[in-house]
Amino acid sequence: MSQLPGIGKRTALRLVLHLLKQPKEQTGFLSQALLNMREDIKFCRSCHNISDTTVCEICANSGRNHQTICVVEDIRDVMAIENTGQYKGIYHVLGGKISPIEGVGPGQLNISSLVEKVKSGKVIEIIFALSSTMEGDTTNFYIYKQIAESEIVISTIARGISVGDELEYADEITLGRSILHRVPFEKTFKNN
């Protein structure tokens, strides 16, 4: 229990004591629900978003702009951006950020499938929407280096969101605006 994010030893103990007080079948239901979640939930073959079908609802929607791809860290970011109702393109979920401290290298993230998509020539714009932390910037730049040669627009969401804020916690209006007023990625590291 204490290995779950945000749950320290004390909370873990409280949860365990709670479960022990419940009828035994209650724990059975919970265990089964957790197993079902792992069994049933798949990841979209195309964008790696969470999905109960091989291709997620967003990728399968022909009304969306499939030539614009918003690159995000995880599915919480997809949810946050979808909630703004301002974005009509599709996504690419990396599954994390490059973080040498946490031992996460580019090979563990969904980067090569993104580079392949760009090289397929079907993409017009890539929008980086990772949090503006050092790991986020490192990841953006790593991907940028691999796709910079392609003749596509590479942009980043406008930083109405202050440094260190996670997209998940940004308010919908600010986040929606930062997507609409995105800036060329090169401007964020050149000329200064």
89 or 176, CB closer to Zn ion?
89
Q: Closest approach of Cβ 51 to Zn ion, in Å?
A: 6
Query: Which residue stretch of 21-29, 53-61, 150-158, 159-167 sits at the interface with Zn ion (rule: CB under 5 A)?
Result: 53-61
55 or 158, CB closer to Zn ion?
55
Of 54, 38, 35, the C-alpha closest to 46 is 54
From 18, 40, 49, 165, residue interacting with Zn ion (rule: CB under 5 A): 49
**What backbone torsions phi and psi does residue 71 show, to the nearest 5 degrees?**
-95, 120
From 36, 47, 72, 89, residue interacting with Zn ion (rule: CB under 5 A): 47
Q: Closest approach of Cβ 81 to Zn ion, in Å?
A: 13
Query: Which residue stretch of 23-31, 38-46, 111-119, 122-130 sits at the interface with Zn ion (rule: CB under 5 A)?
Result: 38-46
Contact 88, 64 (CB under 8 A): yes
Which positions from 120 through 149 interact with Zn ion, judged by CB under 5 A? none
Query: Which residue stretch of 16-24, 45-53, 157-165, 166-174 sits at the interface with Zn ion (rule: CB under 5 A)?
Result: 45-53
Is residue 93 a contact residue for Zn ion (CB under 5 A)? no
| Cα separation values, 104 from 6, 11, 107, 109, Å | 20, 28, 8, 8
Longest dimension (CA), the chain: 65
Other residues' Cβ atoms within 10 Å of the Cβ of residue 11: 13
Query: Which residue stretch of 41-49, 80-88, 106-114, 171-179 sits at the interface with Zn ion (rule: CB under 5 A)?
Result: 41-49
Which tokens sit at 57? Answer: 């609802």
Is residue 56 a contact residue for Zn ion (CB under 5 A)? yes
Total residues interacting with Zn ion, rule: CB under 5 A: 6
Q: Closest approach of Cβ 112 to Zn ion, in Å?
A: 17
Rounded to whole angstroms, how far apart are CA atoms 189 and 58? 31
Q: Closest approach of Cβ 95 to Zn ion, in Å?
A: 13
Rounded to whole angstroms, how far apart are CA atoms 144 and 188? 12
The label of the residue with tokens 């265990």 reads: 31
**What backbone torsions phi and psi does residue 7 show, to the nearest 5 degrees?**
-115, 110
Residues that bind Zn ion (CB under 5 A): 44, 46-47, 49, 56, 59
